[in-house]
Structure formats: structure tokens, C-alpha cells
């Protein structure tokens, strides 16, 4: 990889991302970053101003800013961070979740956002109490790349994303009935014995395809889950 041009060697008519002027200094790797209490991402201040009732707290750990927000405002906040020219978070790099051993601790859904023009990284979090439904709005209307990311989070943690166009398992098979493998209450060997897991695998119909576009064999239709059969009867195509 070629080294970045020093400020004095930059073309005078080019404005670089995150630079107010062409002569702005080249970003450097931060050093001696404190574990906690470092400077906040400027977007955290903007969020407090724009959504004062929805920002629960702001944490800075090893130079990275996490903003804990109200679960019912996720889509609105993400859309604002994406659309506002002063924020410009145009890239969603990940959607995941975190669960702690303590049963009283909420399950936390996490979004990793990047603003390429301003060279900023922001981590959004929404805490979902385990006693209630593990549901939150999908950010797919803002980031199309959230499609498979949210499906993986649903598959592994059981978080349902309202408004997702095709929320179904992506790593485990559709007929998987043991639960959500990354939850803390999931046994290491699975909920069923090895013999039962083998029996279910051998009993599965290999023609029950995962992709709805490959359902060309009529016999496979009856082996699909009821909700998928209903969607196919309505003429739905993959991704709709």
C-alpha cells in the first residue's frame, strides 16, 4: 500500500474526505489512548442535542464511542445519522448482539456505523430486557447491507427485526428447532442428544431447498415451514 501524501504534496484543487481544506493535516494513528474517559466522537454530542430523551448514556472505551439509545427510536436515529450532511454515516459495517451471564442484564443489540467523509466510527447500542420481546426495528430501509447482518443476529440470538423483508435463518437450516446457538443458556452440545441430532438430519428431506428460488420440486413444498408456504402461495419472490 502506498503511503499517504504529506499535506504539502497534495494537489491544491482536491478536497480530501474529512478535510475542511486541502491543507488539513493527514490523520494519524492515535497513541497513549486512555482505557476510559477519552474524547467523545462529535456525533455523540449531536445525538444528545437532537434526541435528548433517547440517549441513555455515552461510553468511551479505548478511544471508541458507544451511544446507548432507546430501542424504540433506533430506526429514526440511524436514519438521521445517515441522512444528515453533518454526520454522513453512509456505511453499516456490522449488526450483532451481546448477552451477559447475569440473567438480570439485558441483551444488547449493537450497530457499527462509519462516516467515511468525517473518518468517524460510532457504535450504537439498544438494550432489550430479557423478560420482554427481543424485538427492535430493522435498519434495512436505510442500509440495504443490513439484510444478511440482521438475519445472522436473528439466527444466533433470536432478536427479531421489525420491518425486515425476509427475516429467516441464514446459518442454521429452516427446520432447526434447538433455539439460538449464541445465547448464554444454549448448551454446548445442543439441546438434543447427538443421536437425536443425527436422526433429524437423516430424516430431513434433501429436496427441501433453503432458497425459495430453487423450489422447483413440488414434493419439497409440503416440508417447508407454514409461514414460508403461505408466502410462496401469495406469489412472493426472494427478497420481497
Q: What is the CATH number of the domain that holds 146?
A: 3.30.460.80
Locate 31 and state its grid cell.
Answer: 497513541
The better pLDDT of the pair 210, 80 is held by 80
Among the listed residues 174, 148, 173, 150, the one whose alpha carbon sits nearest the alpha carbon of residue 161: 150
Question: Looking at the domain assignment, is residue 125 inside a domain?
Answer: yes
Beta-carbon count within 10 A of 79 CB: 14
Percent of the chain with pLDDT over 90: 55
Cα–Cα dist 150/70, whole Å? 18
| pLDDT value, residue 221 | 67
**pLDDT tier for residue 95 given thresholds of 50, 70 and 90:** very high
Cα–Cα dist 239/213, whole Å? 10
**pLDDT tier for residue 98 given thresholds of 50, 70 and 90:** very high
| pLDDT value, residue 135 | 97
The least confident of 11-15, 19-23, 121-125, 181-185 is 11-15
Beta-carbon count within 10 A of 165 CB: 14
144 touches 119 (CB < 8 A): no
> What is the tally of structural domains in the chain?
1
| pLDDT value, residue 179 | 86
pTM assigned to the model: 0.72
Among the listed residues 24, 30, 21, 31, the one whose alpha carbon sits nearest the alpha carbon of residue 6: 24
Question: Looking at the domain assignment, is residue 212 inside a domain?
Answer: no
Q: To the nearest 10°, report the CA torsion of 44, 48, 54, 57.
A: 60
| Residue 124 clears pLDDT 80, i.e. is over it | yes
Question: Looking at the domain assignment, is residue 154 inside a domain?
Answer: yes
Among the listed residues 115, 114, 173, 166, the one whose alpha carbon sits nearest the alpha carbon of residue 140: 166
89 touches 63 (CB < 8 A): no
Question: Looking at the domain assignment, is residue 13 inside a domain?
Answer: no
Question: Looking at the domain assignment, is residue 188 inside a domain?
Answer: no
DSSP states along 122-152: EEEEEEE-TTS--EEE--TTT-TTHHHHHHH
- Mean pLDDT over 118-124 rounds to 95
Cα–Cα dist 58/222, whole Å? 50
140 touches 78 (CB < 8 A): no
Question: Looking at the domain assignment, is residue 147 inside a domain?
Answer: yes
Tell me the residue range of the domain where 72 lies.
Answer: 34-172
| Residue 73 clears pLDDT 60, i.e. is over it | yes
Question: Looking at the domain assignment, is residue 64 inside a domain?
Answer: yes
The better pLDDT of the pair 201, 50 is held by 50
130 touches 103 (CB < 8 A): yes
The better pLDDT of the pair 239, 143 is held by 143
The better pLDDT of the pair 23, 157 is held by 157
Cα–Cα dist 152/145, whole Å? 12
Amino acid at each position: 500500500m502506498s503511503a499517504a501524501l504529506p499535506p504539502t504534496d497534495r494537489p491544491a484543487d482536491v478536497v480530501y474526505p474529512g478535510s475542511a481544506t486541502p491543507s488539513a493535516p493527514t490523520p494519524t494513528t492515535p497513541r497513549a489512548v486512555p482505557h476510559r474517559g477519552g474524547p467523545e466522537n462529535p456525533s455523540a454530542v449531536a445525538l444528545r442535542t437532537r434526541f435528548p430523551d433517547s440517549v441513555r448514556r455515552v461510553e468511551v472505551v479505548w478511544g471508541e464511542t458507544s451511544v446507548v439509545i432507546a430501542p424504540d427510536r433506533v430506526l429514526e436515529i440511524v436514519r438521521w445519522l445517515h441522512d444528515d450532511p453533518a454526520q454522513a454515516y453512509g456505511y453499516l459495517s456490522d449488526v450483532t448482539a451481546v448477552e451477559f451471564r447475569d440473567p438480570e442484564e439485558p441483551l444488547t443489540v449493537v450497530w457499527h456505523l462509519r462516516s467515511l467523509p468525517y473518518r468517524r466510527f460510532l457504535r450504537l447500542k439498544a438494550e432489550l430486557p430479557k423478560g420482554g420481546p427481543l424485538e427492535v426495528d430493522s435498519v434495512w430501509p436505510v442500509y440495504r447491507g443490513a439484510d444478511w447482518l440482521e438475519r445472522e443476529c436473528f439466527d444466533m440470538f433470536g432478536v427479531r427485526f421489525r420491518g425486515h423483508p425476509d427475516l429467516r435463518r441464514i446459518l442454521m437450516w429452516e427446520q432447526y428447532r434447538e433455539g439460538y446457538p449464541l445465547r448464554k443458556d444454549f448448551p454446548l452440545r445442543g439441546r438434543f442428544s447427538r443421536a437425536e441430532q443425527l436422526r433429524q438430519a437423516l430424516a430431513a428431506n434433501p429436496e427441501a431447498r433453503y432458497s425459495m428460488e430453487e423450489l422447483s420440486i413440488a414434493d419439497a413444498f409440503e416440508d417447508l415451514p407454514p409461514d414460508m408456504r403461505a408466502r410462496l402461495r401469495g406469489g412472493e419472490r426472494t427478497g420481497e
